[in-house]
């Protein structure tokens, strides 16, 4: 598989951050045949090797959960599918208001959006995690968000390779 083919397939695994796939390929981390586990490990190793500011950029590329982009229909196809699978596209007015309040507080406190791998979670699970994590300190929450980004990447890689 060529570099451009690899980046085309896996460049969106880390939200709007194709440089992760590009670097993993360039650094020889990608070894055929492509299997979900090794590709995930390679991309996560590359993500972990980035600078703090680059990881922050990846976090900032993520949309708010049930936020303005979702309402405006401007999520990536993957994010839209993931949020819909958790029921975040079917919130009551009260639930939407709670998510909006938490999103606002979270971004104010941490400087990046709340990130959680929503696959397999209900909106109630997500809200509970949101409320529990919003009291974390900056360093803990940054690491937690990075871990969640890696989980999301794993789900996306598995989906891509299942369809290939």
Active site (catalytic) residues: 62
- Comparing CA positions, the residue from 20, 12, 60 lying closest to residue 42 is 20
Contact 161, 39 (CB under 8 A): yes
| Distance of alpha carbon 130 from alpha carbon 156, whole angstroms | 22
**Alpha-carbon distances, residue 45 vs 20, 37, 79, 155 (angstroms):** 9, 12, 22, 16
**Alpha-carbon distances, residue 7 vs 1, 37, 68, 75 (angstroms):** 10, 17, 28, 20
| Distance of alpha carbon 30 from alpha carbon 133, whole angstroms | 34
3-class state of residue 88 by DSSP? coil
């Amino acid at each position: 598989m060529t570099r451009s083919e690899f980046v085309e397939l896996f460049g969106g695994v880390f939200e709007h951050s194709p440089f992760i796939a590009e670097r993993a390929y360039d650094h020889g981390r990608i070894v055929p045949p492509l299997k979900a586990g090794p590709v995930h490990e390679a991309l996560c190793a590359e993500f972990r090797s980035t600078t703090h500011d680059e990881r922050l950029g990846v976090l900032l590329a993520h949309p708010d959960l049930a936020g303005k982009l979702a309402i405006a229909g401007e999520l990536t196809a993957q994010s839209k599918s993931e949020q819909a699978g958790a029921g975040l596209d079917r919130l009551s007015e009260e639930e939407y208001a709670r998510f909006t309040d938490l999103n606002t507080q979270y971004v104010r406190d941490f400087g990046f959006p709340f990130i959680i791998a929503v696959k397999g979670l209900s909106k109630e699970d997500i809200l509970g995690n949101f409320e529990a994590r919003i009291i974390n300190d900056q360093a803990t929450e940054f690491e937690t968000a990075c871990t969640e980004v890696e989980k999301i990447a794993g789900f996306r890689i598995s989906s891509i390779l299942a369809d290939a």
